[in-house]
């Protein structure tokens, strides 16, 4: 368990296995920063770093994962739901690509990319999905390990979006 050190909006942990460091890694939302923690056993956690962005509002639902580009190079992605409306940016899923060493994330560019510019894409998280054995058989030599893909799921509600669509009377399944 990771006790809250008294930070508002201390939530949404994402835990991954960091094979390079042979330990568990957690990214946790902590208001306007993402806290980085490491653990050998999923019980005891040590803070190892952070990623802070003061201009995106409260950061939520952080995520970190490694991807392989078409040219075979590996890159890390650090993503989070963020509210950039104060700067004329979306309030959706912001992400950075960069390097990760098990304790710190260094983005290639300081400004995030935005996965979606609508008002109905927030609180997104990704999950790895592995190809089936049948799909694996299509590899060049049939001996390569499964290649992970990622699925991203998000909420369709943030702040004012619901108010834009709300009608009177409100329709629901109980009226069907």
Domains of the chain from N-terminus onward: 10-175 (2.115.10.20)
Residue 8 has a CB neighbour count (10 Å cut-off) of 9
Residue 161 sits at φ, ψ, to 5 deg, of -60, -45
Percentage of the residues of the chain whose pLDDT score is greater than 90: 48
User: Residue holding tokens 């949404």?
Assistant: 12
Q: Is the CA virtual torsion 58, 28, 125, 78 positive or negative?
A: positive
Per-residue model confidence as pLDDT tens digits over 110-161: 999 988 877 667 888 888 876 554 444 444 545 555 556 788 888 766 555 5
pTM of the model: 0.80
What pLDDT sits at residue 159? 57
Q: Give tens-digit pLDDT for 44-62.
A: 999 999 999 988 888 999 9
| Residue 68 to residue 27: CA distance in whole angstroms | 21
Nearest alpha carbon to residue 110 among 94, 89, 96: 96
């Amino acid at each position: 368990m990771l006790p809250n050190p008294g930070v508002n909006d201390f939530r949404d942990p994402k835990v991954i296995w960091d094979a390079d460091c042979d330990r568990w890694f957690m990214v946790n939302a902590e208001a306007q920063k993402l806290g980085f923690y490491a653990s050998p056993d999923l019980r005891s956690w040590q803070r190892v770093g952070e990623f802070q962005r003061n201009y995106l509002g409260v950061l939520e639902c952080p995520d970190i994962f490694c991807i392989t580009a078409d040219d075979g190079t590996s890159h890390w992605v650090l993503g989070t739901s963020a509210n950039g409306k104060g700067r004329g940016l979306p309030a959706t899923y912001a992400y950075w690509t960069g390097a990760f060493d098990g304790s710190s994330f260094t983005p290639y560019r300081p400004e995030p990319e935005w996965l979606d510019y609508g008002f109905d894409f927030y609180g997104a998280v990704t999950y790895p999905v592995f190809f089936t054995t049948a799909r694996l058989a299509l590899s060049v030599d049939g001996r390569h390990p499964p290649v992970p893909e990622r699925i991203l799921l998000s909420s369709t509600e943030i702040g004012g979006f619901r108010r834009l669509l709300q009608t009177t009377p409100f329709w629901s399944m109980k009226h069907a």
